[in-house]
Amino acid sequence: MNSVVEHLSHLIRIPSNSAVSNRSVIEYAAEVLHRAGWTTRALSYRDPQQVEKVNLIAAPRGQNISDHHADLVLMCHSDTVPFAPDWEHALDPQIENGMLHGCGACDIKGFLACILTAATSEAKFLDGLRIILSADEEIGCIGAAHLLADNALRPRRMIIGEPTQLHPARAGKGYCLAEITVTGKEAHSAHPDQGVSAIYNAARLIGAIEKLAVQLRSEQNSFFRPAFTTVNVGLIHGGTAKNIIAGSCRFQLEWRPIPGQAANAVLDSVIAIITNMKQADPGFHAEVRPLRQQAGFETPASSPLVQQIERLAGRPAVSIPFGSEASLFAPVAQEVIVFGPGDMRTAHSSRECVPVSELEEATRILRTMILRA
């Protein structure tokens, strides 16, 4: 039987950024689970680059895997972000001062190693227990969306892996993104009346969006810091030359809605601003292309799942500032928490690591959760 560190070390050695197929990670996990008597069901799809991606559902021995009602689901994504070429040991795990370093150490192979270790037990598992391993989380929770579209599983309670330093995270902001293209009319800059500047118009629109961002601060959820929906224009591109009135200007608008606020609330407000600007100025033209619409999630502090993990981990519930698959599953499951070893502040960088003690503690907590009392 492998230890959690052995599983994690093996998993880190498998290249798994979202651009490549996740099949090798899934095969490793499936083999470990099969050896422990679990049955698995693979649901694969092709990504837009025609690369095969695999979601996996697993059920303990003796449980009917085709029953799509589940009492407790442990969910973990199987992809990582790409790593910098100068990170020599990204796929070569190292332990230093009690920390295991490597790409995916905390996001998310650490939690996966804990699941695999906890699932290897001679004792009886809980009825209605399932494990879900998903693909393509890092590029927009694509695998999870496939699982929901297929109605593959109806979970009552879910523990979704992400590094939370073993705090049960019971709320998270959503993640939304749109691309806005403002179109003007090109002309020689010496003759401004011949054209319409897309850059001036985009600047007016961004000014209005900034005012909207200030208004959004009044709607607060005190479980978060900052407590309101944040809005960012992080990327802008426009114009062709210094002496040409810009014919086009494109920018990306990102917002992170607090739970309870509809994922499209900000988008609807932006569309209303554009409609008003069009009415006031027939030369104003802007188009919005929504790229991502993920609401936040919030499980009540009184939820038995939250309280059970708080007790087992000896740590209070928190909120998370990053997006996760919890946003997708919260509307279908009754209780959803995000939980896992490691600190997200080290993830997505060459500093990524996970404390070995937290791997062991998470394994113990998961084992208590999934075994029949």
Residue 17: CB minimum distance to Zn ion, A: 12
């649901």: which residue's tokens? Answer: 43
Residue type, 107: D
- 3-class DSSP state for residue 4? helix
Task: Let me know if 79 is a catalytic residue.
Answer: yes
Please, what is the minimum distance in Å from the beta carbon of residue 206 to Zn ion? 31
For 210, other C-beta atoms within 10 Å of its C-beta total 11
Measured from the CB atom, the residue of 57 and 108 that comes closer to Zn ion is 108
**Under 8 Å between Cβ of 330 and 324:** no
Pick between residue 184 and residue 296 the one whose CB is nearest to Zn ion: 296
Count, residues in the chain: 373
CB of 108 to Zn ion, least distance (A): 4
| Selected catalytic residue, list 107, 136, 137, 298 | 137
Kindly report whether the peptide bond that precedes residue 304 is cis, defined as omega within 30 degrees of 0: no
Q: What would the two tokens of residue 304 be?
A: 């038995």
Neighbour tally for 60: CB within 10 Å: 23
| Residue with Cβ nearer Zn ion (257 or 342) | 342
Nearer to Zn ion, 80 or 201 (CB): 80
- Cα 349 to Cα 361: distance, rounded to the nearest angstrom: 24
Distance CA 337, CA 242 (A): 52
Say if residues 252 and 264 touch (Cβ distance below 8 Å).
no
Residue 214's Cβ-count burial label (10 Å; 0-12, 13-18, 19+) is: exposed
Shortest Å distance, C-beta 77 to Zn ion: 6
Contacts with Zn ion, residue ranges (CB under 5 A): 107-108, 162
Question: Which amino acid makes up residue 41?
Answer: R
C-alpha to C-alpha distance for 281 and 324, rounded to whole angstroms: 40
The nearest distance, CB 153 to Zn ion, in angstroms, is: 20
Location of structure tokens 């009415």: 279
- 137 labelled catalytic: yes
From 79, 136, 335, 358, active-site residue: 79
- For residues 90 and 270, which CB has a smaller minimum distance to Zn ion in the complex? 90
State the minimum distance, in angstroms, from the CB of residue 115 to Zn ion.
14
Which residues are catalytic, by number? 79, 137
